A and B are shown apart, each in its own frame.
Chain A
Amino acid sequence: MFSKRDKLFFLSLLPLSISLLAVLVVSVTTIALRSLDALQHFGLALFASSIWNPEREVYGLLAPVIGSLTTSAIALLTALILSIPLAITIAEYLQGALKSVVSSIVELMGGMPTIVYAVWASQYLVPFLKQFAMEPLHSALPFIPLFSCKPVTGFSVFAAGVAIGISIVPYVTTLILEAYQSIPVMYREACYGIGATRYESIKILLSLARPAIIAALVLGFARALGETTIAVTTVGNSMYLSSCLFAPGYTVSALIASQFANAYLYQYAETVLYSSILVVVLIAIALSFYGSTTIVRWRLRVVV
């Protein structure tokens, strides 16, 4: 039942509070409109080759698009390996002061400016990965295409993926932890009630939370896709498309970061860059919409 005053109150909130909707609509529209030229002129051929030659107005976005997807996949794998154990540790193994300290550290990591990660990753993580991950993998398994090239500088798709992965660990961990801890106590008790050990009960609870965990990973992937600063400083920025993870590459956002500033000098460079980000934005919005609604639906089903 709405009285007249309730309606006036609603209307007084309206203009400012629909800003979120407005921002989303304006953002997507702007990018779409600016991409139009490139999409009309080049069509889908734009995504079939890898070339950046604005002087001759020839462009191909295959390498950065593949690079974005590959780095995000590696980031996801990194986050998967680290986030699930971290969430389990916080939820199951830690108590009292230590638990709140570790939770605070996760929170601290989550809000830390990505430029700090970027500086650290480019100066410490890349050399470290080159020496202790890329070179050993290359010498041990050179016949696998992904590891087939010798890492030269270390700046590569692999390094960018791991670095971005580390930066999304807190985000994914928090989402998994929220889901895991929202599982009603009765299920936990049921696990111990049938004589399960801690390992067995964690396994059961994780399988119960699986849809939410997958959604958390999808959200993590969406976030990794758009990461710019860490990507630019670690990916090596090369338009060369390689099957090897240890070769330098590009991501869409890294390409934009390094090319957009001068793109206005050419006829199509700017609109090509807008169409490249359009692809990323649409994927990211779709994935995050899927991820967040999945979590909500899972919660309604399990938590009640």
Chain B
Amino acid sequence: MYSWRKLREKLFTCLIIALSVLAIAPVLHIILTVFVNGFAVIAKAGTSFFTDLPPTPLSKDVGGIAPSIAGTLLMTAISLPIAVTLGLFAAILTAEFPSNPLSLAVDAIAKPLASIPTIAVSMIVYTLVVVPMKSFSALAGAVALAVIALPYTYTYFSTALRSVPSVYREAAFAIAMSRWGAVVRVLIPVARKALTTGVLMTVARVMGETAALLFTAGRFRTGVSFSPTAPADAIPLLIFDYILSPYAVWHQVAWGATALLLLAYLMVFLATKLIVKEVRL
């Protein structure tokens, strides 16, 4: 009886640990294969991978992904301020008026909003922006990205603001600060690290999103454009198209682009970790 109990304990532990290893294994294999395959391609292409246009399907040269890099930078730059501003205002509302019905509604809606498939957002923005503008555009792509990021950005920010101890708020009002004064001079500065982390996580989400761009950004791969109203490409979009294509050289480009995207993501992720680790002031 006693030994069965002991044996069961051991078996259970082994099973749990083994399944956990299995759960973690994919991500390690992903990082390994993406970097091994991708960096080989980038090394072969050299710096032209960042400056050239993508190859034709039967080309021998790998070429580059310059239009996609430009598009990702442009759309991230447009969507980030939108998502951050709207997310911050909503987070301030729910942090300052926690039991107001409107705050409760905003808070309850964040998760359902995040559960709307990103491809649906792409279709919605297609109807509301692309069709009236009569053209795909970086702007339409950025709007779709901002909509997708918004519930996440709001959640990061609202967690950050709510983690500020109430004693600082009281101190702010006790020295006769106004509501906005307390928010701008105390609430936001005290939470600044968590807020910065939230901004970085928004960047990570925005730059890696694929489906939202399918019917919004267009796939402009014949030149480098920084015009918001013109069609644009994005790195994830290029990867998506190329990995589904039957051409070997496009597969290679897809691997290179995936490695670049993953590297960028890892750097942003690392930055969030460093911010949190830094000595608390």
Chain A residues with CB under 8 Å of chain B are: 5-6, 9-10, 12-14, 16-21, 23-24, 26-27, 30-31, 34, 81-83, 85-86, 88-90, 93, 102, 104-109, 111-120, 122-125, 166, 169, 173, 197-199, 202, 219, 222-223, 225-229, 232-233, 253, 256-257, 260-261, 273-274, 277, 280-281, 284-285, 287-289, 291-293
Contact = CB atoms under 8 A, between A and B. Distances in A.
Contacts of A227: 117
A230 to B, nearest CB: 10
Interface of B: 5, 8-9, 12-13, 15-17, 19-20, 22-24, 26-27, 29-30, 33-34, 85-86, 89-90, 92-94, 96-97, 100, 102, 105-106, 108-121, 123-124, 127-128, 147, 150-151, 154, 178-180, 201, 204-205, 207-211, 214-215, 236, 239-240, 243-244, 254-255, 258, 261-262, 265-266, 269, 273
B258 A115 contact: yes
A287 B96 CA distance: 29
A90 B29 CA distance: 20
7 contacts: A6-B179, A13-B96, A34-B127, A81-B19, A106-B24, A111-B269, A292-B108
Q: Could you say which of A10, A111, A173 has the most chain B C-beta atoms within 10 Å of its C-beta?
A: A111
B120 A27 contact: yes
Q: Is the interface of A mostly helix, strand, loop or mixed?
A: helix
B261 A116 contact: yes
B124 A24 contact: no
Contacts of B108: 289, 292-293
A120 B150 contact: no
B119 A228 contact: yes
B272 to A, nearest CB: 9
Contacts of B89: 13, 16-17, 19
Given A173-B23, A288-B112, A116 B117 contact: no
A198 B102 CA distance: 44
Nearest to A100: B273
Contacts of B239: 115, 119
